[in-house]
Amino acid sequence: MKNLGIIGLGNAGANHLKSQVDAGLVNVVAVSDSDSSLLQKVADEFCIERRYTDWHDLVADKEIDAIILATPPFMRREMFLAAAEAGKDILAEKPFGISLQEARDMADAAKRHGIRAMVNFGTRNLPTYKKLRELVQSGEYGTPRWIWFKYFLVVNPKIFNPPGWFWNKKNSGGHLGENAGHAFDLICELMGSVKNVTGITATLPLKHYAESLESGKPDIENLGVATLEHENGGVTVLANGSVPGGEWGMSFDIITDDCVISVKRDKFITIQRDGEEVLNYEAPFAWRPIPSGSLAFARFLNGQSEPDDSIASCEDGVRAMQIAEAAYQSASTRQTASLGNV
Under 8 Å between Cβ of 53 and 32? yes
Task: Choose one of 79, 104, 121: the last residue of a domain.
Answer: 121
**3-class DSSP assignment, residue 272:** strand
Label residue 288 by pLDDT band (50, 70, 90): confident
Q: Are residues 225 and 282 in the same domain?
A: yes
Q: Is 291 part of a structural domain of the chain? A: no
CA distance 82 to 14: 22
Q: Are residues 194 and 174 in the same domain?
A: yes
Q: Is 106 part of a structural domain of the chain? A: yes
CA distance 177 to 173: 5
Instruction: Tell me what the pLDDT averaged over the chain comes to.
Output: 95
Q: Are residues 81 and 144 in the same domain?
A: no
Q: Are residues 73 and 153 in the same domain?
A: no
What number is the average pLDDT over the span 34-41? 97
Label residue 287 by pLDDT band (50, 70, 90): confident
Q: Are residues 220 and 184 in the same domain?
A: yes
Burial class of residue 335 (count of CB atoms within 10 Å of its CB; 0-12, 13-18, 19+): exposed
DSSP bridge pairs for 50: 30
Q: What is the pLDDT of residues 111-165, one digit of tens each?
A: 999 999 999 998 999 999 999 999 999 999 999 999 999 999 999 999 889 999 9
Percent of the chain exceeding pLDDT 90 equals 93
pLDDT at 79 over 70: yes
What number is the average pLDDT over the span 316-339? 97
What number is the average pLDDT over the span 7-30? 96
Label residue 292 by pLDDT band (50, 70, 90): very high
Number of domains in the chain: 2
Q: Are residues 81 and 177 in the same domain?
A: no
Q: What is the pLDDT of residue 38?
A: 97
Q: What is the pLDDT of residue 341?
A: 64
Q: Are residues 190 and 334 in the same domain?
A: yes
Packed helices 127-138 and 181-191: angle between N→C axes, nearest 10 degrees: 20
Q: What is the pLDDT of residues 168-201, one digit of tens each?
A: 999 999 999 999 999 999 999 999 999 999 999 9
pLDDT at 246 over 90: no
Q: Is 292 part of a structural domain of the chain? A: no
Q: Are residues 204 and 76 in the same domain?
A: no
Q: What is the pLDDT of residue 289?
A: 85
pTM: 0.95
Q: Is 307 part of a structural domain of the chain? A: no
Q: Is 298 part of a structural domain of the chain? A: no
Label residue 103 by pLDDT band (50, 70, 90): very high
C-alpha angle 324-327-331 in degrees, rounded to nearest 5: 140
Q: Are residues 168 and 240 in the same domain?
A: yes
Label residue 342 by pLDDT band (50, 70, 90): low
Q: What is the pLDDT of residue 97?
A: 94
CATH of the domain at 184: 3.30.360.10
CA distance 36 to 34: 6
pLDDT at 340 over 80: no
Q: Are residues 107 and 147 in the same domain?
A: no
Q: Is 306 part of a structural domain of the chain? A: no
C-alpha angle 129-135-138 in degrees, rounded to nearest 5: 135
CA distance 286 to 126: 7
Relative to beta strand 3-7, strand 27-32 is parallel
Under 8 Å between Cβ of 111 and 139? no
Q: What is the pLDDT of residue 186?
A: 96
Q: Are residues 195 and 164 in the same domain?
A: yes
Q: Are residues 176 and 98 in the same domain?
A: no
Under 8 Å between Cβ of 229 and 192? no
Task: Choose one of 121, 137, 167: the last residue of a domain.
Answer: 121
pLDDT at 83 over 70: yes
CATH of the domain at 93: 3.40.50.720
Range of the domain at 27: 3-121
CA distance 76 to 275: 48
What number is the average pLDDT over the span 41-69? 97
Q: Is 130 part of a structural domain of the chain? A: yes
Under 8 Å between Cβ of 83 and 181? no
Q: What is the pLDDT of residue 242?
A: 94
End-to-end CA separation in angstroms for the chain: 36
Task: Choose one of 80, 98, 121: the last residue of a domain.
Answer: 121
Label residue 100 by pLDDT band (50, 70, 90): very high
Q: Is 297 part of a structural domain of the chain? A: no
pLDDT at 93 over 70: yes
Q: What is the pLDDT of residues 207-228, one digit of tens each?
A: 999 999 988 889 999 999 999 9
